[in-house]
Amino acid sequence: MFDGLKDKLSGFRKDVEESTDVDESADTEESADATEPADTDDEPAADEPVETGDASADDSDDSGPNDSDDSEPSTFQRAKAFATGRIIIEEEDLEEPLWNLEMALLESDVEMSVAERILETVREKMLGESRKQVETTGELVESALHDALLDVIAVGQFDFEERIAEADKPVTIVFTGVNGVGKTTSIAKLSEWLADRGYSSVLANGDTYRAGANEQIAEHADRLGRELISHDQGGDPAAVIYDGVEYAEANDIDVVLGDTAGRLHTSDDLMAQLEKIDRVVDPDMTLFVDEAVAGQDAVNRAKEFNDAAAIDGAVLTKADADSSGGAAISVAYVTGKPILFLGTGQGYDDLTLFEPEELVESLLGGD
């Protein structure tokens, strides 16, 4: 999963390592030249006074000759740092690697503002850094990338199961998104995920426009042994989900999972339906569903849906088929709402709770 992005992040680490290796080699050679003994013919006689200059100059261990800008380490500083087992990263070391990283992120469908945020964080954490050489340049890059990625991926994250556990029952969750991205299947998967953790659920089909919608969700309900609340095609979606809540209250069901018609943010009548559901049902959560493989399109749609009718989180389907990873990197940052689940296969058990830390470790080469 997201192997293409993983390879591109690895490429950035190699770029920085190669850049700093060249600089450190050059600095060491220059330092060696600078420390060769001077011609003895020019040494002062023993009884001649020696100009020592300002005594305060001797008190500074970290500054070298002509070191007028603390933000730009001199050749002397870099050579000294290297000789004492430390490294210093300069702007020139990062210029080309950061450019390559930006192109790699954009090619992986990472949204522009998200890519810029990642680059800014990496630059801040690495520029001018002096670290013990036991923490290699590669480890320094990995640490900066880890923090930068987590910064954008973990926006708004909350513990989904904890929220279910602490909420008054029944908990009502409404699913929204465009047609064909896996909303109904995701509802079935979440019903099974909840059952595995001891929570009962009822399905409510608020997709009353699409022909065959009742049959599709009814098949899932039958396979899972769940109750389904539905009305005739063309009925009021808000009324269907409201009936689902009443059924749950009467039968001590923990969670109501409400489907809605696939819609675009530009479809005024369908967006009005969502607003009515909000008024009539007041769901505890509204989850946006889209395909991870949709990349930048999924990111744009998530932002548009959130602007039109605020979402509480996202579910990305087909994550197992996505090499780019742009949607997983970007959705939370552009909406301010977290990714909660990844769909990773066709089975009812193929729904994975989204863990930002685990994703970042995976992208950086962990297990």
Average pLDDT on 235-260 reads 94
Cis peptide before 170 (omega within 30 of 0): yes
> For the purposes of burial, counting CB atoms within 10 Å of the CB of 156, is it exposed (0-12), middle (13-18) or buried (19 or more)?
middle
Distance (Å, whole) CA 288 – CA 222? 25
Lowest mean pLDDT among 144-148, 154-158, 258-262, 269-273: 269-273
Residue 23 has pLDDT above 50, yes or no: no
In contact, 97 and 16? CB cutoff 8 Å: yes
Distance (Å, whole) CA 53 – CA 142? 44
- The helix/strand/coil state of 130 is strand
Predicted confidence band of residue 86 (pLDDT cuts 50, 70, 90):
low
Predicted confidence band of residue 40 (pLDDT cuts 50, 70, 90):
very low
132-149 per-position pLDDT tens digit: 544 667 777 888 889 999
For the chain, give the mean pLDDT. 79
Count the neighbouring beta carbons within 10 Å of the beta carbon of residue 199: 19
**Per-residue pLDDT, 265:** 54
Residue 64 has pLDDT above 80, yes or no: no
Which amino acid does the sequence have at 15?
D
More confident residue, 297 or 23: 297
Task: Report CA Rg, the chain.
Answer: 29
167-197 per-position pLDDT tens digit: 999 999 999 988 889 999 999 999 999 999 9
Distance (Å, whole) CA 77 – CA 11? 28
Q: Looking at the whole model, is its pTM more than 0.85?
A: no
Tell me what percent of the residues of the chain surpass a pLDDT of 90. Answer: 38
Distance (Å, whole) CA 278 – CA 295? 28
**Per-residue pLDDT, 97:** 81
Residue 333 has pLDDT above 90, yes or no: yes
Average pLDDT on 60-86 reads 49
**Per-residue pLDDT, 246:** 96
**Per-residue pLDDT, 240:** 93
Complete DSSP assignment for 70-89: TTS--HHHHHHHHHTTEEE-
Which amino acid does the sequence have at 357?
E
**Per-residue pLDDT, 134:** 43
Average pLDDT on 39-67 reads 46
Predicted confidence band of residue 67 (pLDDT cuts 50, 70, 90):
very low
Distance (Å, whole) CA 273 – CA 283? 13
Predicted confidence band of residue 25 (pLDDT cuts 50, 70, 90):
very low
- The helix/strand/coil state of 132 is strand
Distance (Å, whole) CA 123 – CA 148? 10
**Per-residue pLDDT, 288:** 94
CATH class label, 3-34+71-153? mainly alpha
Considering only CA atoms, which of 276, 274, 277, 256 is closest in space to residue 173? 256
Residue 81 has pLDDT above 80, yes or no: no
> For the purposes of burial, counting CB atoms within 10 Å of the CB of 33, is it exposed (0-12), middle (13-18) or buried (19 or more)?
exposed
Distance (Å, whole) CA 48 – CA 292? 78
In contact, 3 and 323? CB cutoff 8 Å: yes
Distance (Å, whole) CA 243 – CA 236? 11
Beta strands 86-88 and 351-353: pairing type?
Answer: unpaired
In contact, 264 and 288? CB cutoff 8 Å: no
In contact, 264 and 178? CB cutoff 8 Å: yes
**Per-residue pLDDT, 264:** 62
Distance (Å, whole) CA 32 – CA 328? 49
**Per-residue pLDDT, 247:** 97
More confident residue, 158 or 127: 158
- 160-354, what's its fold? Rossmann fold (3.40.50)
Average pLDDT on 338-351 reads 94
**Per-residue pLDDT, 131:** 52
Predicted confidence band of residue 212 (pLDDT cuts 50, 70, 90):
confident
- The helix/strand/coil state of 259 is strand
**Per-residue pLDDT, 306:** 86
Distance (Å, whole) CA 183 – CA 257? 11
Residue 30 has pLDDT above 50, yes or no: no
Residue 238 has pLDDT above 70, yes or no: yes
Count the neighbouring beta carbons within 10 Å of the beta carbon of residue 227: 15
Average pLDDT on 108-120 reads 91
Domain boundaries, the chain: 3-34+71-153, 160-354
